[in-house]
A and B are shown apart, each in its own frame.
Chain A
């Protein structure tokens, strides 16, 4: 039943209204053919009898009330999937742009996915060694986790992501069953190029699927990019049993695209103009990480978001933090001092860490050591704020020790080279070495047995 509906009733932002449409289903994809031959795609977002509202992915530029012919495709938005997709470069809507031709689909899947049954999930407990001291020791990344990087414009989140991809050692993963899905949303061309080059240099490029929606690409298409990426990731993980690391950058651009779409639809805004369903929408992406019983593969997500004005209470980082299993927060002051990676330790956290470390995974002293480092470093911050009032000279001897510990901790533990890959034992030992500069009685999170073994003060 191929009927062309001629003309549109109303154009508003990225939305067009078409009247007299029969047999349309919710969320169906439509093709819009303009007089000059260009074809745009759109999605039905609202139906009222025979009047439908369509969201046009490529934007409504050039559409007039009379020049468009719309045709229903009969299916919701789908992603073409096949094992050959690995190594390809796709646009934001999942169509190849690397000039290597169409993907011959083995399977098509609805990009919205379906929720994983909580009963079918495997609780993730296998840690990923990233070779970065702060992450491995204090906020351990676990296979099947979603651990975002909270960053700000101008900070080194991209370098950190690249280093994680390059150094990550997933237990159970080999050359053949490890791959990366990289989704760029609203990032600049050179950032995307930086990632491509870095993947190439570290030899993983042949295991990478790239989806690029650059900053000058259609904004509405951006709302599809992470969905296409995750559909591909789920296919690779649960159909082909691979370990997939998904990097999505920048979630802030994604949320802004969502806001633009929402406001053009005339929806009631929530905080800072973002739609009230921002939480549910972000959750429908982040929750697609995990592992499933009966499958060997896994989906691990590292979304990157830039906090507007470095404000962690902004709706995007705030809602993200409520959904993801922890966060790696970057700090401008640390970066200013020349430390890389500028991981701000205290507000960072990995919720799944406690079950993936310790005896049998890393080392028995890992958790107590991490607790003690957190607690001691929190005291450093107290001592510093006191020093800023009364001057460092006036501090009590113990506070002075903390100041010194803090300096060493940032210089030697947080700070590490972009190409430096530290073994977990090395990181843990370094932690003990630093703690040993403090008096033994200050270490109240570790029991005597461990102190006897590791304390060298």
Chain B
């Protein structure tokens, strides 16, 4: 084969002159330092390579060698509790190799190939296995059992099985002979190209909610396991904070957190916090179920583009084992900007605001990889995608937000005005929506009774009414409103302060179980109903306000511990007693 050499260099984009044998999307090594790159364009004159590392110092004439494979990741034990860059290079190992600053051309293995895993075989010689079926398991962390699956493309008969015991990553533990009689080694790992979704048996309806413990999300705008949500918001509105809260508290088995073009200090915060934080369900550090992918904003832009795909591929791999996986992508706008930057270097014709015309299709491809599925190993698993969007100038009409809206079914719109007033989570209840109500309401009815959905509908009706009343109040003040409308405003205030607002730094309030959420709604509505009786008797609203009941409800989130829900009955009794006294 003729040797391929660099011809032109423009930022992270490199051209090779003349016809080459490279395949589209093939992974290549560039230059003497073996920088990682990918083929992104081929014609009879030039082949175009996108390089995932800084190109300073590269020279025309430096070699480019192909690997023959598309950009892929190594899948196997050791992924959990690890932190990778955008192309699955472990940052801890890079630190050991090159110190605090990331040098180029690091040749470290994605996963630790020296660690010994305690493997239990699940098959015997003569078993017939299809692609995706499980042949062995091993404990990856204290709570996650790693299930080794036959690569999806292979199926056949097991011809050799090693005994249970300790093995390293690349050790062969079994052999399988396919229909053509070719024998394949089964090790503890496999490879998968990041831009292709992993095959499944079938898609299942999304009928189970992802419970986050965040009241405004669970109650007002719920997301299903296997669903896709967008969190758009300008800077300072709390996108990252919300993503962190979800990563900490949502009831997925495994969290993949992709820091895509975001702050380095934020990633070190995640690292610190998650290793100290104990998961209440398993009593283990959060890191035991978390994978981090950190491609901070100053790391090479092309790897930022890849980081989203790397993240979703890891998520799919664990989904295939039968786990519920949630992936947080913070932020997809940075990924879209990486697309724009590379598109610009390729001199492609830009569409809206300089973004390439294929932006919507790339976003669709990504969000479509969410879903609740029956896996090839005949188990149920799901991938839930929660993507933060950072709209330019906080303007939701910009292309990334608009296109994301088309492919996600939950929209948690963050609002600057709420954030300024330090109302967190700053999810605007008028602009946000969830399209999963119909899918999820049967689940809520079954697990919490029909009251839950009823309460939610009444709460959102009250908020809706308040919002139109506020239009009037803004013009003429609240004094002129009749008492029944004043009551709506007072109740809505209790809902906003007591229910929608949630304190992520308060030990009790940071996570609230669904039962408590329901009871909180119940007690607010109870007070509202009783107060209406008072107003109907033409007793002025000031008499009710003097009772201090609304203020008390505003603080119940702190006053009632999550494990003392019977206290709500006392609240109901107190309301009844005080209101009865007036009547």
Contacts and interface: CB of A to CB of B under 8 A. Distances in A.
Interface of A: 23-28, 46-50, 76, 110, 112-124, 144-145, 238, 267-271, 275-277, 279-280, 283-284, 286-288, 290, 292-295, 313-315, 318-319, 321-323, 325-327, 346-347, 349, 351-352, 354-355, 367, 371, 374-375, 378-379, 385-386, 389-390, 394-396, 399, 441, 444-445, 447
B548 to A, nearest CB: 7
B471 interface: no
Contact of A76 (B56, B99, B395): B56
Given A115-B101, A444-B554, A26 B59 contact: yes
Contacts of B497: 444
A117 B301 contact: no
Contact of B297 (A280, A318, A349, A375): A280
A144 B8 contact: no
A206 to B, nearest CB: 29
B57 A26 contact: yes
21 contacts: A25-B58, A47-B60, A48-B10, A76-B56, A115-B299, A116-B264, A117-B99, A118-B83, A118-B296, A121-B268, A268-B350, A270-B353, A283-B296, A287-B263, A287-B264, A287-B296, A294-B100, A315-B392, A352-B265, A389-B474, A444-B555
A47 B8 contact: yes
A370 to B, nearest CB: 8
B8 A48 contact: yes
A115 B296 contact: yes
B26 interface: no
Contacts of A322: 235, 390
A279 B297 contact: yes
A80 to B, nearest CB: 18
A27 B477 contact: no
A296 to B, nearest CB: 13
B269 interface: yes
B344 A276 contact: yes
B88 to A, nearest CB: 15
Contacts of B103: 114
9 nearest CB pairs, A to B = A283-B297, A313-B393, A378-B421, A321-B235, A287-B298, A120-B100, A118-B267, A121-B268, A48-B8
Contacts of A116: 100-102, 264
B91 A119 contact: yes
Contacts, number: 220
Nearest to B393: A313
B461 to A, nearest CB: 24
Given A48-B8, A49-B60, A287-B298, A390 B350 contact: no
B298 A284 contact: yes
A27 B10 CA distance: 10
Interface stretch (B112-120, B162-170, B175-183, B334-342): B334-342
B57 A27 contact: yes
Interface in B1-52: 7-11, 15, 17
B562 interface: no
B102 to A, nearest CB: 5
Given A112-B54, A118-B271, A318-B235, A123 B337 contact: no
A283 B296 CA distance: 9
A293 B340 CA distance: 35
Contacts of A119: 83, 91-92, 94-95, 268, 271
Contacts of A27: 55-57
Contacts of B59: 23-26
B515 to A, nearest CB: 24
Given A378-B420, A444-B554, A283 B8 contact: no
Given A374-B420, A445-B422, A277 B17 contact: no
A445 to B, nearest CB: 7
Given A24-B59, A287-B297, A354-B505, A144 B337 contact: no
Interface string B275-295: 000000000000000000010
Contacts of B337: 276, 279-280
Nearest to A265: B10
A399 B477 CA distance: 10
Contacts of A122: 268
B475 A389 contact: yes
Nearest to A354: B505
Contacts of B555: 444, 447
B97 to A, nearest CB: 10
B9 A318 contact: no
Contacts of B392: 271, 313, 315, 318-319
Nearest to A77: B56
B421 to A, nearest CB: 4
A327 B297 contact: no
A271 B354 contact: yes
A44 to B, nearest CB: 9
A386 B477 contact: yes
A116 B477 CA distance: 54
B60 A121 contact: no
Given A396-B479, A441-B548, A325 B263 contact: yes
